[in-house]
Amino acid sequence: MKMEYILFDDCYMATVEVAYELRKATDYLIGSTCEIMEYGMPYDIIGKHLLGNVNYKAITEGFYSFYSNYVLPYGTISVTKCSEMDELVAIMRDINQRFTFDEALLGTLQKLDGYNPVKFFDCGDYAAKLCQDPDLLNQFNKQLERAVPYKQYTEYYYSMGLPSPGTAKIHTFSGITISDPSIHPATITAKTETSWYKATH
């Protein structure tokens, strides 16, 4: 039975790899691109929006309203519409066939974790620095907005892996991450085994 949504009260689950893998299992995915504080999802605020006629926009807004005023004011959340992932894959495949990422730009990408090397990069920022065709990039960005219709983020994100105070600024945020450019030893082989990678390369 296909689910209406899956909510991940866990870290690093708002990824293109996860969304594409689960596209036939659920209509929507709700999750974070980064680490979630120990408090987790603020169910006392967003719970009412998860029942009945689900209000995805209100879920992201409720999450933001809580974490922007929390003692540790760090958090990201997004909603992915899984039915849009196939078209996103098709455009990314076109981009990958025409362009190769310049690894000299790796350090300029928006990272969203505390790993060294980085595992999770902002998908929109990666596409912007990979695709040199403005029209094709515009096509990708419009599809990305359809795939991730709702998102919220605080100015900084937190990671236990980052140097004290454990935070980094978010300069750009598309609501979903990608591991394609990662050179982390644990990711180099694993990423090529995902359905996303196989479908886009």
- Taking only the tens place, the pLDDT of each residue in 65-82 is 999 999 999 999 999 999
* Cα separation, 145 vs 101, whole angstroms: 22
Q: Give the dihedral sign, CA 158/161/162/164.
A: positive
Q: Which pLDDT band holds residue 126 (cuts at 50, 70, 90)?
A: very high
As given in the structure block, the two tokens for residue 26 are 């659920």
Q: Which pLDDT band holds residue 10 (cuts at 50, 70, 90)?
A: very high
**Span 102-110, average pLDDT:** 98
Give me the pLDDT at residue 174, please.
99
Give me the pLDDT at residue 59, please.
99
Q: Which pLDDT band holds residue 84 (cuts at 50, 70, 90)?
A: very high
Q: Which pLDDT band holds residue 103 (cuts at 50, 70, 90)?
A: very high
Q: Which pLDDT band holds residue 44 (cuts at 50, 70, 90)?
A: very high
**Span 88-101, average pLDDT:** 99
* Cα separation, 90 vs 200, whole angstroms: 7
**Span 193-198, average pLDDT:** 99
Give me the pLDDT at residue 69, please.
97
Give me the pLDDT at residue 19, please.
99
Q: Where are the domains of the chain?
A: 3-200
Whether the model clears a pTM of 0.95, i.e. scores above it, the answer is: yes
The secondary structure element, H or E, covering residue 31 is: strand 26-31
Give me the pLDDT at residue 181, please.
99
